[in-house]
């Protein structure tokens, strides 16, 4: 089947066929991480829709909206190679009416950890994701564990607003040296890239420990050793569903998450670990 490129909401309606529909929301500049999400969608659904939309609502005023990479032609090649059925690529004007009023709030979860550093970010994410759900009407949607708090707030929205959509989480795809793939990695110089490796190294060091205090300390030590070119924003050990900090008595799955800037490029990464296994 020929790949359909939908620029307008009506195009999406025309592209609809019977069977299960999977949506993979992205901001484009597609890499192996996105490809793994698409493959997971392909394996589960009859029709795969990939959205490519750099969502202005989820960028703060001093963030990189205007310089976010846009590589649409290459993205289409990736989608063709992965057997995607429909690419939804709207203009901001198609998504947001100038007189719009109503948006989604991520609540408290939107104000902690990543949300504390990026006020309004998760509200912007949820607003666009809900709109994409309404426009595409998927049966399931695939999101990366790479953005662990994003996955958590989306699951919360689906539960709290009774959305009839199954949410699948996909594991983080990494470079052989451990760096998590990101559209923003292309901005890293060779030197920056070496500094950036401290993120995944810190997470591995943390994951080798068994108590919250030791996990945090081991990861922090690696971050501290990376030197002043790594500007750490936060290191958090959190409940993966709520992103509340875990204490020493916590049992079960936790997420160790880190955010840092290398030069002008802000990177995030996380690992999942199990605390106090019986
Ligand atoms: P983005 O285009 O960065 O907004 O990401 C679109 C989707 O791809 C999100 O669900 C991300 O979590 C996911 N994603 C981004 N990077 C990776 C990665 N390295 N591995 C797996 N999924 C990823």
For residue range 171-210, what is the model confidence (pLDDT) as tens digits?
A: 999 999 999 999 999 999 999 999 999 999 999 999 999 9
Q: What is the mean pLDDT of residues 228-232?
A: 97
Q: What is the mean pLDDT of residues 113-123?
A: 98
Phi, psi of 35 (to 5 degrees): -60, -40
* DSSP structural state of residue 174: B
- Evaluate if residue 3 carries a pLDDT over 80: yes
- Evaluate if residue 127 carries a pLDDT over 70: yes
- Evaluate if residue 22 carries a pLDDT over 70: yes
The SS3 call for residue 85 is: coil
Average pLDDT over the chain reads: 97
Which CA distances in Å does 222 have to 95, 238, 258, 263?
42, 19, 12, 18
- At 71 the pLDDT is 97
User: Exposed e or buried b for every residue in 250-259, given b needs 16+ CB within 10 A?
Assistant: beeebbbbbb
CB 103, CB 129: distance < 8 Å: no
CA 87, CA 47: separation in Å to the nearest integer? 11
Q: Is 27 in the pocket of ligand 1 (CB under 6 A)?
A: yes
- At 89 the pLDDT is 98
- Evaluate if residue 276 carries a pLDDT over 90: no
Determine the distance separating the centroid of ligand 1 and the alpha carbon of 75, expressed in angstroms: 14
Q: Is 121 in the pocket of ligand 1 (CB under 6 A)?
A: no
Contacts of the segment 223-227: beta carbons below 8 A, 24+ positions apart: 223/198, 223/199, 223/258, 223/260, 225/198, 226/195, 226/198, 227/195
Phi, psi of 65 (to 5 degrees): -55, -50
- At 2 the pLDDT is 92
- Pocket probe for ligand 1: among 22, 24, 26, 36, the residue whose CB has the most ligand atoms within 8 Å is 26
Write out the E strands in the chain. Answer: 4-6, 21-26, 47-52, 86-88, 140-144, 166-170, 230-238, 252-262, 265-275
- Evaluate if residue 277 carries a pLDDT over 80: no
Determine the distance separating the centroid of ligand 1 and the alpha carbon of 278, expressed in angstroms: 33
Protein residue closest via CA to atom 7 of ligand 1: 26
Which residue, 200, 207, 204, 214, is CA-closest to 253? Answer: 207
Nearest 5°: CA angle at 214, between 211 and 216? 105
- Evaluate if residue 278 carries a pLDDT over 90: no
Percentage of the chain modeled with pLDDT above 90: 98
- At 148 the pLDDT is 98
Protein residue closest via CA to atom 6 of ligand 1: 26
Indicate the pLDDT class of residue 1, thresholds 50, 70 and 90: confident
The verdict on whether 34 is a catalytic residue reads yes
Indicate the pLDDT class of residue 256, thresholds 50, 70 and 90: very high
- At 223 the pLDDT is 98
Protein residue closest via CA to atom 13 of ligand 1: 144
């Amino acid at each position: 089947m020929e790949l359909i490129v939908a620029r307008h909401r009506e195009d999406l309606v025309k592209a609809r066929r019977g069977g299960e529909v999977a949506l993979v929301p992205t901001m484009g500049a597609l890499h192996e991480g996105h490809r793994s999400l698409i493959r997971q969608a392909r394996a589960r659904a009859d029709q795969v829709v990939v959205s490519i939309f750099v969502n202005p609502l989820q960028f703060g005023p001093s963030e990189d909206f205007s310089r976010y990479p846009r590589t649409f032609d290459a993205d289409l090649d990736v989608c063709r190679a992965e057997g995607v059925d429909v690419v939804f690529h709207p203009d901001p004007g198609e998504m947001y009416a100038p007189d719009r009023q109503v948006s989604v709030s991520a609540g408290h979860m939107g104000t902690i950890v990543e949300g504390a550093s990026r006020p309004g970010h998760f509200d912007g994410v949820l607003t666009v994701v809900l709109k994409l759900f309404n426009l595409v009407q998927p049966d399931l949607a695939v999101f990366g564990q790479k953005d662990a708090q994003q996955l958590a707030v989306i699951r919360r929205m689906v539960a709290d607003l009774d959305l009839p959509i199954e949410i699948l989480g996909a594991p983080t795809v990494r470079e052989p040296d451990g760096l998590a793939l990101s559209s923003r990695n292309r901005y890293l110089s060779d030197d920056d890239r070496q500094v950036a490796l401290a993120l995944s190294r810190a997470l591995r060091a943390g994951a080798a420990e068994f108590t919250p205090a030791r996990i945090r300390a081991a990861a922090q030590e690696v971050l501290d050793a990376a030197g002043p070119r790594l500007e750490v924003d936060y290191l958090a050990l959190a409940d993966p569903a709520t992103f509340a900090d875990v204490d020493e008595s916590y049992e079960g799955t936790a997420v160790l998450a880190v955010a840092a800037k290398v030069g002008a490029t802000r990177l995030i990464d996380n690992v999942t670990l199990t605390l106090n296994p019986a």
